[in-house]
Amino acid sequence: MSKKICIAIDGHSSTGKSTVAKQLAKKFNYIYVDTGAMYRAVTFFAMKNKCFNENNLNESCLGSKLDEIHIEFKQENSSRLGEVYLNGENVEAFIRSMEVSNKVSQVAKLEEVRKKLVEIQQQMGKKKGIVMDGRDIGTVVFPDAELKLFMTASAHIRAKRRFNEIKINQPEVSFDEVLANVKERDEIDSNRRHSPLKMADDAIKIDNSNLSEDEQLKKIVQLVQEKID
């Protein structure tokens, strides 16, 4: 029997981290955890609880309410891929909006938020057999993960992917707005004080600017096989 491992996938926004993580979870019957969705859920919580003054986060407001936040992934069917629940409510439909995208980096950079979510994430990974994607999985959450990937692509290509995804539900959004958001998130994620986005020394870099989804999956599946066989 193949051994179970932890697969840590980090990288820039809109590089398809979640897509490939879900594909790997299905193929190897692993549990998938979307950490970006967890930060989006906290952002949605902050918005609902009026911790934003227009676009500016009131950090003390959110900090005082962190103990009220409970996040879990629930499977609605036989699939091992869960949807995000915030305090018992399925928030998948709300956390992918442009409004949340524009605010999530402010929330994700807070040390107390990251500490809370990292503790939850590490607990999830104790039994191995898990695929987790985010910004600091290989460097902070699972520094001992058996396989670490760092995914990237050009900002223009990533913005195009994100734009095509968003415009289905938000046709008023412009490409320039999405591109600006992608670049802003790169800047904030890479330069925040706590757990900045960076490639772990032992991570394998995957630049998918010119890779098809199938080509990328084939390449990564081979990397997983080498670790579990």
CA 82 to chain centre: 14
Element (H, E) at 217: helix 213-228
Q: Is 14 annotated to bind ligand?
A: yes
Q: Is 50 annotated to bind ligand?
A: no
Euclidean distance between CA atoms 30 and 39, whole angstroms: 22
Element (H, E) at 184: helix 175-191
Q: Is 64 annotated to bind ligand?
A: no
Q: Is 19 annotated to bind ligand?
A: yes
Q: Is 3 annotated to bind ligand?
A: no
Q: Is 16 annotated to bind ligand?
A: yes
Q: Helices (DSSP H) in 11-151: which residue ranges?
A: 17-28, 35-48, 59-63, 92-95, 98-101, 104-108, 111-124
Helices 213-228 & 17-28, crossing angle to 10 degrees? 50
Q: Is 125 annotated to bind ligand?
A: no
Q: Is 82 annotated to bind ligand?
A: no
Q: Is 190 annotated to bind ligand?
A: no
The CA–CA distances, whole Å, from 163 to 14, 17, 27, 79, 159 equal 10, 16, 28, 28, 6
Element (H, E) at 97: none
- The two tokens of residue 202 are 């032992």
Annotated binding site for ATP: 11-19
Annotated binding site: 11-19
